[in-house]
A and B are shown apart, each in its own frame.
Chain A
Amino acid sequence: MNRLIALFLLCIASAHAEEALKAGTFDPPRAAPDFTLSGSNGSDLKLSAYRGKVVLLGFGFTNCQAVCPITLGTLAQVQKKLGDEARDLQVVYITVDPERDDAAHLKTYLSHFNSSFVGGTGTDAQLAAVRKDYGIAAEKVAGPDGSYNHSSFIYLIDRAGRLRALMPFGHVADDYVHDVRILLAEQ
């Protein structure tokens, strides 16, 4: 009987937690499509390797002047605000510009924000497949600076590897902290 009550309370708590996210939520959540790319840390970047952690997954390019520095700066603040809690959080940033963003360049760029951030790059075909799986738009803008228009949101992936939510561009660090704490609380 006690177990039933506990289960009931857990259901209520999890339903409440889902409603409370500030990001856009998926119902039902689906498994985050796995991928293997070249990681900025020198080894393969495989999403499923982060099972057990909460992953913030974003797409962009290091020459981005408008969106990416703001988003990555916000995510760096999130890491800082979470302190020790951030040990179970992983930021993954996948380039849409493999021509210029090799693993070494990604590493240097991301370390300006937080040394724990991991970047991913690969062939055009590999990256296009990942973008397709996640519904990411990326289009090269005609011009000398080789800029890209790209989706600017961040996916929130829970410890079980499920695509739980999507945070649109422009949210402050506290909104991420709020949502990440909810996902971290789920074991």
Chain B
Amino acid sequence: MKALRWIALAAIVALLGVVAWAAITPVTFASREELFEIPKGTWARRMSGDKVEILPQRIDLTLGIHDVLLLRNLDDVPQVFGPTVMMPGQSFRLPFEVASSYSFACTAHLSGQMTIVVAAQPISAWDRLRWRATALWNAIT
């Protein structure tokens, strides 16, 4: 019984440690780019009737963490990708500096529109904690 109590106590301390780490440590990643690629053969697949969706209709970015949209066309033909037309082998790198919601015309989507939601950088401990919890939840679900 005593051992169980110790284990529970250790678990609580460990959990508090994780929460404290998540709140105190700044959120950083090796790259701030969120990459989307048109794979080779996409045009051929579309021509054969496949419904190929590469770019989600909504993209969520966070300032200071993932605030650069990177689109790359690896296919053999020009593609309208996101807001612009891209040549084979070309990439388009779009940085964001202001938290806001950005709408682009995008013929790759049935709605004809793509939205990029850029959230503010999580600076306070509470914001960092919430950001990490949301990221964890999104990774699990």
Contacts and interface: CB of A to CB of B under 8 A. Distances in A.
A151 B83 contact: yes
Q: Is the interface of B mostly helix, strand, loop or mixed?
A: strand
Q: Which of B80, B87, B89, B105 has the most CB of A within 10 A?
A: B105
Interface in B84-141: 84-87, 89-95, 97-98, 100, 102, 104-105, 107, 112
15 contacts: A24-B84, A24-B94, A26-B91, A27-B90, A27-B92, A28-B89, A30-B87, A135-B86, A137-B105, A137-B107, A137-B112, A153-B84, A166-B84, A170-B98, A170-B100
A176 to B, nearest CB: 14
Interface residues of B, number: 22
B140 to A, nearest CB: 32
B84 A135 contact: yes
A26 B90 contact: yes
Contact of A166 (B90, B91, B92, B102): B92
A127 to B, nearest CB: 16
A139 B111 CA distance: 13
Interface residues of A, number: 21
A30 B90 contact: yes
A41 B86 CA distance: 31
